[in-house]
Structure 1
Amino acid sequence: MDQIQHNFINVQGLNLHVAETGTGPNTVVFLHGFPEIWYSWRHQMVAVAKAGFRAIAPEYRGYGLSDPPPQPEKASYKDVIADLLAIFDALGLAKVFLIAKDFGTRSAYLFALLHPDRVLGIITLGMPLIPTGPSRFKSLPKGCYISRWQEPGRAEADFGRLDAKTVVRKIYILFSRSDVPIAAENQEIMDLVNASTPLPPWFTEEDLATYGALYEKSGFQTALKVPYRSVDENFNIAEPIVKIPALCIIGDKDFALKFPGREEYIRSGKVKDFVPDLETIHLPEGTHFVQEQFPEQVNQLFLAFLNKHV
């Protein structure tokens, strides 16, 4: 971790945190999901830097050490895309590889669709390109975590009973399971995890402390708006087809595979209608956090793809 440097780039009056290591001629940009921050890419950043790449992991506005927007309730994916473009311009990055996880995958694909001349290739974890349109989560039960977190005030009250470290702990445990987190009508999402439940074996108390400290600083207000309350944001892209090389790594025990139609969409090859040059690799024991669960295996897959397309 000592070789990772931390800088801030001013974008539209906000100081956005960027973690960076490596000095290679080709740059890899890592986009985190929720409840993640730059640190979720700690294993991968060091690995690609050692292999001769420059590794950059920004934190979105309102996440971690990045400043929150003045009106978090108005945060959007459009902000994320604009901030990324500004960061790339500030760092003089003409073209990059994008590696993304969770809702960061949507940000990566949107960026590639809107700025195709700036992206060499895309790697996503767990999620391929899913076209925008009417909410993909309408058919989920009302007690599903997404439905609950979309409801203004409910997650704030649920999370507000606990410190940030405990919130992250519970979400990491929930998201490491193979079933979609769904609460009963009279139950909150945080109540799905007992205080005595251990962390996943690959996630240490030190890791949790790092996450907890960063979310203690940022809070969860912006994170609840992007992604959960922005899922229906429409970019009106006429032809949502990404024509650059892409790799999707799927953990077969990732609960997200159980979202309606998700696994069929991937396994049937329908996803290639939108990403023709896509390779999909399945990790049979992989969960939602494959890059932290199996870092060496994921690093090898990343480097094989990057070296093939430089």
Structure 2
Amino acid sequence: MENIQHKYVDVKGLKLHVAEIGTGPAVVFLHGFPEIWYSCRHQMVAVAGAGFRAIAPDYRGYGLSDQPPEPEKTTFRDLVDDLLAILDSFGISKAFLIGKDLGIRPAYHFALLYPGRVSGVITLGVPFLLTGPEAFPRELLPKGFYMLRWQEPGRAEKDFGRFDVKTVIKNIYILFSGSELPAAREDQEIMDMVDPSTPLPPWFSEEDLNNYAALYEKSGFRTALQVPYRAWLEDYGISDLK
């Protein structure tokens, strides 16, 4: 991955990290949680090899990007605004957007707000969703579901705080790679669902874990728990975003 370049874009006083490789039409990768730009590295190289300019930012408060002054007030609108600022800074008039997991929301909302700046949208893992509680009805989710737990202010912080960052990342990837929706018992926290002896998924190496852990050691989880989990409940329509 030595050909991937790393740059910083100043957006409203925050330095946002952006990885980039290749030339040609722009393709922007929008990551999920607990991901960062590194999650898209193989796809970036492949896209660049096919004649495109691959770009992968770390969201504000994630990875190598600066923390916002008040992480708990971060919204999906901030991610949309940050994407616009990044494209403008790079002189990109139009881009393909690839959103995975929480990345679908800024991808779709950006396309709805700025259709002239988007060549196409590809999303992975989550269908099209607008904002607001009705987009993800709580009554349809199993009790103890990890998203519901992590929406509670302070609960995930207390749960994660019992372990080092590397263990938290390892546990999340083990849970997310399973065939069942991660839902804890009433007397159990999400981190307790993973047996410490469980190995990493075969597609996630120890080197990968170390890289993720190093980046989350820097950023922590304050912004990552706000966006997507707590900001997910915000109710703002497309007309309110303009």
1:186 aligns to 2:187 (yes or no): yes
In 1: Cα distance, 2:133 partner to 2:19 partner: 35
Partner of 1:217 in structure 2?
Answer: 218
- SS of equivalent residue, structure 1 residue 226: helix
Question: Corresponding residue for 1:6?
Answer: 6
Q: Per the alignment, in what secondary structure is the counterpart of residue 202 of structure 1? A: coil
**Structure 1: distance between partners of 2:125 and 2:21:** 25
- Cα distance, 1:165 vs structure 2: 1.2
RMSD, aligned CA = 1.0
1:1-310 alignment to 2 at 5 Å?
1-24=1-24, 26-135=25-134, 136-139=136-139, 140-237=141-238
Aligned with 1:120: secondary structure?
strand
Q: Secondary structure at the match of 2:43?
A: helix
Counterparts of 1:9 and 1:65 in 2: how far apart (Å)? 12
Could you tell me how far apart the structure 2 residues matched to 1:61 and 1:131 are?
Answer: 21
CA contact (8 A) 2:105 2:130 kept: no
1:40 deviates by: 0.6
CA contact (8 A) 1:17 1:66 kept: yes
CA deviations 1:109-129 (Å, max 9, x no partner) are 011011111000011111221
* Shift, 1:186, TM fit: 1.1
Shift in Å, 1:134? 2.9
Q: Which amino acid aligns with 1:13?
A: G
Number of aligned positions between the proteins = 237
The letter of the residue matching 2:7 is N
Amino acid aligned to 1:201: P
Q: Tell me the alpha carbon deviations over residues 26-79 of structure 1, each in whole angstroms, 9 at most, x when there is no partner.
A: 000000000000011011000010111000000100000000100011011011
Instruction: Give the structure-1-normalised TM-score.
Output: 0.75
d(CA) in 2 for partners of 1:28, 1:65? 20
Amino acid at match of 2:200: L
Secondary structure of the residue aligned to 2:178 is coil
Deviation at 1:234, TM superposition (A): 2.9
Distance apart, 1:145 and its partner CA: 0.4
Q: SS of the counterpart of 2:138?
A: coil
Amino acid at match of 1:97: F
CA distance in 2, matches of 1:69, 1:134: 24
Once residues 37 and 76 of structure 1 are traced to their aligned partners in structure 2, the CA distance between those partners, rounded to angstroms, is 17
The Cα offsets for residues 63-118 of structure 1, whole Å up to 9 and x where unpaired, read as: 00000100011011011011110111000010000011001011100110111110
Aligned-pair identity (%): 67
For residue 82 of structure 1, give the secondary structure of its aligned residue in structure 2: helix
TM-score by length of 2: 0.95
Query: Alpha-carbon deviation of 1:191?
Result: 0.6
- Where 2:223 maps in the other structure, the secondary structure is helix
Distance 1:234 1:120 in 2: 27
Q: Is the 8 A contact 2:27 2:53 kept in 1?
A: yes
CA distance in 2, matches of 1:232, 1:83: 20
Which residue identity lines up with residue 17 of structure 1 in the other structure? H
Of 131-140 and 90-99, more deviation after overlay is shown by: 131-140
Contact in 1 for aligned 2:20/2:56 (Cα 8 Å): yes
Return the alpha-carbon distance in structure 1 between the equivalents of residues 132 and 158 of structure 2. Answer: 29
Q: Secondary structure at the match of 2:157?
A: helix
